Amino acid sequence: MALTTSPPQHDGTDAAPSSPPDAGAAVRAASTGRVASKVFAGLSTGAGVLILLTLAAVAVFLLVEAWPALTASREELEDISWFDGGSVAEYVGPLIFGTLLAAVLALLLAVPVSIGIALFISHYAPRRLAQGLGYLIDLLAAIPSVVYGLWGALWLIGNLDPLFTWLSSSLGFVPLVADYQAPAKNIMSASVVLAVMILPIITAVSREVFLQTPRLHEEASLALGATRWEMVRQAVLPFGRSGVISAAMLGLGRALGETMAVLMVISPGFLYSFFLLKPGQHQTIAANIASKFPEASGLSVSVLIATGLALFVITFAVNFAARWIIARRAEFSGAN
């Protein structure tokens, strides 16, 4: 018996043969991508040039406005009621010292605490606790500086009295704490307030840097028998060193330019002086400008702008030094 096979049945649902790719569409897509790349490159270059032009414009403005004070005679400067010093340099010197002292003390207080908090959030705390603590630290950056100033002036100074008394009696040979009423009570209180203000900046940047540590590096350290702290010391901290330096410089820039909080803590009745400077009253540059500018006019405005020019140069030098340090560390790491 012969077997017969029926021809395959077609129900009309077979897919139609695919059409050849549209070469014109591919060309148009490539052309659009090139145009978008050029537009983006132009916008990025324009943004970079704009920030450089803005920086140059600020520098030129400060120099032009401060020039009358820089070239004024001693007799003209002495006509200013609050001017203390024979020249602008003598007047700015104590202000520069006070600005750097307050900022450096704040940095010394804030950096170790910020690194500890960042390490706890990134490598020690449970996930939920780390998220909540991270949000809480970030919220500190949203508090206005006036609130920090009120907290420092009305609560912090009084509660730090026992500490300052102990420092004065135990470390009286140190110029900073020789007399706890001034300068230690005021400059240290301002430094504590500044440390709290810059803590969220340093913590946030350090935390993100620590979280970028390669997982394989951490696992390799733990696999070799290292403890959690040894792993952090061998893998996490070396990887995040440049990021921590950048975070510290960001915090230092904030501390150098802070105005209201320092002005409220180191109020006109609680200024400070040091043995290495001529006797007088000194504070930070930004706080001094804020306190003197409402009543300034004519040459006195130029004197205040000259102090602002000094602060501009200090900030620029600090950031330039930070970038140089980071570049040198990156170059050294690459060489090794």
Predicted local confidence at residue 269, as pLDDT:
47
CA 82 to chain centre: 32
Residues 117-144: pLDDT tens digits? Answer: 999 998 888 888 888 888 888 888 888 8
Predicted local confidence at residue 45, as pLDDT:
92
Q: 336: pLDDT confidence band, cut at 50, 70 and 90?
A: low
Rg of the chain in Å (alpha carbons): 30
When the pLDDT of each residue in the chain is averaged and rounded to a whole number, the result is 79
**pTM beyond cutoff 0.95:** no
Residues 265-282: pLDDT tens digits? Answer: 876 544 444 444 444 455
The residue written with tokens 């600090």 in the block is: 318
25 vs 21: CA distance, rounded Å = 8
Domain formed by 86-333, architecture: Orthogonal Bundle (1.10)
Task: Give the containing element (helix H, strand E) for 335.
Answer: helix 299-335
* Residue 46: φ, ψ to 5°: -65, -40
Predicted local confidence at residue 178, as pLDDT:
54
Q: Check pLDDT > 80 for residue 207.
A: yes
250 vs 184: CA distance, rounded Å = 25
Q: 60: pLDDT confidence band, cut at 50, 70 and 90?
A: very high
Judged by average pLDDT, the poorest of 52-66, 71-85, 177-191, 249-263 is 177-191
3-state SS assignment for residue 272: strand
Judged by average pLDDT, the poorest of 174-178, 195-199, 274-278, 306-310 is 274-278
Domain ranges for the chain, please list them.
Answer: 86-333
52 vs 283: CA distance, rounded Å = 31
329 contacts: CB under 8 Å, gap ≥ 6: 241, 242, 245
311 contacts: CB under 8 Å, gap ≥ 6: 99, 256, 257, 285, 286
Closest CA to 289 of 144, 95, 153: 95
Residues 70-96: pLDDT tens digits? Answer: 888 887 887 777 777 677 888 888 888
Q: Are 286 and 309 in contact (CB under 8 A)?
A: no
